[in-house]
Chains A and B, each alone.
Chain A
Amino acid sequence: MTLTTIRPRFSPKVRLRFDRRTGRHLLLYPETGLQLNHTATVIARLCTGEWTVDDMVEQLTQAYGDVSPDEIRREMCEFLDVLSHRGLLQGMA
């Protein structure tokens, strides 16, 4: 995923859910799911179709002042790749 102007959005089959047993969030989809860490949850919440990857990087950079934008961009793209390969993002196959 190199285009940074796309606006990631979850496919309708995906449900983001708080897991009160772990205090983390889960991404649920048919018959399985992913457990998210804190950063992944922040990213997942931004996958609404409203924000571009650039916007998302900027928002995370502000939230995590001690991490460089390049580092954040790299990690975000890795995570979005995982989601995309699992068919969890709309129109990003």
Chain B
Amino acid sequence: MNNESRPYTLIAELTYRCPLRCPYCSNPLDFAEHGNEIDTDTWLRVFQEAEELGVVQLNLTGGEPLLRNDLERLIEEARKIDLYTNLITSGIPLTFERLSRLRALGLDSVQVSVQSARPSVSDRIAGVPSFNRKLDVMRWVTSLDLPLTMNVVLHRENISEINEFIALAERVSADRLELANTQYLGWALKNRSALLPTREQIERARTVAAEAKARLRGSMEVLFVTPDYYTDYPKSCMEGWGRRFIVVNPEGLALPCHLAHTIPGLRFEHVTQRRLGDIWHHSAGFNRFRGEDWLPDPCRTCERRVLDFGGCRCQAFHVLGDAGMADPACSLAPGHDFIESARAQAGRTTGVPVLFEYRTGRGRSAR
């Protein structure tokens, strides 16, 4: 295996079930139609096969991974094979006792998502009362000496709270603060006009984040991810297709990114039917956009191709209808006018009340 395509991180989406129903959820729109979740033994085999491929980081995510009652076992076994285990969670439902147990079994870090720094707004965005419990959970994490990442998905309605988010992260002694702007795919693309901030909002937030980053350097890492709708060049999606990450979804489908299977015509395989190593190296889906041979114009001759690998394939498909085209977020790409018009629309609708279409589906708790 050459170093160009070595996975360092396995993103294990343990379930699509979630007590929250955020309108920018990155799960597929049809998540409720998906079938059974793979069982404990299958996950343990996947961890082992991933480790053999070179994976050292394990992200346990979902949906809400806490809803899996075998989480303890998964963390315990991951630790035995020396994986660095990150729990990516909403914090709901959790008790201090369970978190202590997970830590004792080998959990390495916890990322908690916060929808807003204001309780009532947070609860409205999440669709369920959850803010106060999240505060408790973050305090439990740091009281157990676990590194805490506070994650915020920024959008039009909460981006003006940037100072409050930073203050909150400091108050709960977060180790990292991720200020990630919404990626406009899945539920977020459906809700884009309600979510996309204006350029002024982005600039203001970026300035505040940069100041906090400098001030807190060494004690808290502050990451600000500009939405690609406002960058001149596309993001380096997953650091390149099939290059650094493997996603295994709740049904056991192995993917280069969590939405890759929403692109029609690509063939992906299940970990129940083939070894992960074989899938990674040989499956048609993983090889489709690997390397440079597939690159379209203008990426093919662009010197930035080694930085962004042509951008996001899902965005090319969901915006332009063709996953093989350059990411339209790129100002050099055909189809960029679609992004420009979305930006213009964001500028025109400032102040218009936000209406979300909540993530809904079978299996969702009604709490």
Residues of A within 8 A of B (CB): 11-13, 15, 17, 19, 21-22, 26, 28-33, 84-87, 92-93
Taking A33-B57, A93-B219 as given, write out 10 further A-B residue pairs in contact, using a Cβ cutoff of 8 Å, ordered by the A residue number: A11-B147, A13-B108, A15-B108, A17-B82, A21-B1, A21-B54, A32-B57, A86-B218, A87-B175, A87-B218
A13-B108, A15-B84 known; A30+B56 contact, CB < 8 A: no
Q: Roughly how many angstroms separate A26 CA and B82 CA in the complex, as a whole number?
A: 12
For the residues of B in contact with A, the DSSP-based class is: loop
A17-B82, A30-B149 known; A85+B217 contact, CB < 8 A: yes
- Does the CB pair A33–B8 fall under 8 Å? yes
Residues of B within 8 A of A29 (CB): 84, 109, 147
Residues of B within 8 A of A11 (CB): 147
Residues of A within 8 A of B149 (CB): 30-31
Residues of B within 8 A of A21 (CB): 1, 6, 54
Q: Roughly how many angstroms separate A31 CA and B176 CA in the complex, as a whole number?
A: 11
Q: Roughly how many angstroms separate A12 CA and B142 CA in the complex, as a whole number?
A: 12
Residues of A within 8 A of B111 (CB): 30-31
Residues of B within 8 A of A32 (CB): 57
B220 within 8 A of A: yes
- Does the CB pair A13–B56 fall under 8 Å? no
- Does the CB pair A19–B56 fall under 8 Å? yes
21 contacts between A and B (CB under 8 A): A11-B147, A12-B145, A13-B108, A13-B146, A13-B147, A15-B84, A19-B54, A21-B1, A22-B3, A28-B57, A28-B84, A30-B86, A30-B147, A30-B175, A31-B86, A31-B111, A32-B57, A86-B218, A87-B175, A87-B218, A92-B218
State the 8 A-B residue pairs at the shortest beta-carbon distance, nearest first: A93-B218, A30-B109, A13-B147, A93-B219, A28-B84, A21-B54, A30-B147, A31-B86
Shortest C-beta distance, B244 to chain A (Å), equals 10
B221 within 8 A of A: yes
B122 within 8 A of A: no
Q: Roughly how many angstroms separate A17 CA and B55 CA in the complex, as a whole number?
A: 12
B15 within 8 A of A: no
Of chain A, the residue at the smallest CB distance from B53 is A21
Q: Roughly how many angstroms separate A22 CA and B3 CA in the complex, as a whole number?
A: 9
Q: Which of A21, A31, A86 has the most CB of B within 10 A?
A: A31
- Does the CB pair A31–B57 fall under 8 Å? yes
Q: Which of A17, A30, A33, A85 has the most CB of B within 10 A?
A: A30
Q: Roughly how many angstroms separate A34 CA and B149 CA in the complex, as a whole number?
A: 18
Shortest C-beta distance, A51 to chain B (Å), equals 21
Interface residues of B in 201-229 (CB under 8 A from A): 217-221
Residue from the list A12, A15, A28, A87 in contact with B221, Cβ < 8 A: A87
B130 within 8 A of A: no
B59 within 8 A of A: yes
**Proximity string of chain B (78-116) to chain A, C-beta cutoff 8 Å, 1 when within and 0 when not:** 000010101000000000000000000000110100000
A13-B109, A29-B147, A30-B149 known; A85+B56 contact, CB < 8 A: no
- Does the CB pair B56–A87 fall under 8 Å? no
- Does the CB pair A33–B56 fall under 8 Å? yes
A12-B145, A33-B8, A33-B84 known; A28+B218 contact, CB < 8 A: no
